[in-house]
Amino acid sequence: MTDEEGFAYRMNSLPKFVVSTSLEEVEWNNSRLNRGNIADNHNHVYLINY
């Protein structure tokens, strides 16, 4: 399988924000884990426009 259009590279390079109460860590490229209540931590959430 080839990725001629660079979709995999693009997805791996984008930041990912994961909200979970069960994960201890995330292993994806450019990922951040928020383990708290997202409503309580809304000041850490922002929209990224690409």
pLDDT at 36: 72
Residue 2 covered by a domain: no
pLDDT at 47: 54
Question: What's the CA gap between 45 and 30, in Å, rounded?
Answer: 15
Residue 1 covered by a domain: no
- Domain coverage including residue 29: 7-44
Question: What's the CA gap between 20 and 46, in Å, rounded?
Answer: 17
pLDDT at 9: 86
- 2-50 pLDDT tens trace: 777 788 888 888 888 888 888 899 988 889 888 877 666 555 555 555 4
The number of domains in the chain is: 1
pLDDT at 29: 85
DSSP string, 1-50: ---TT-HHHHHHHS-EEEE-SS-S---STTEEEE-S-TTTTGGG------
Residue 39 covered by a domain: yes
Residue 14 covered by a domain: yes
The number of residues making up the chain comes to 50
Residue 37 covered by a domain: yes
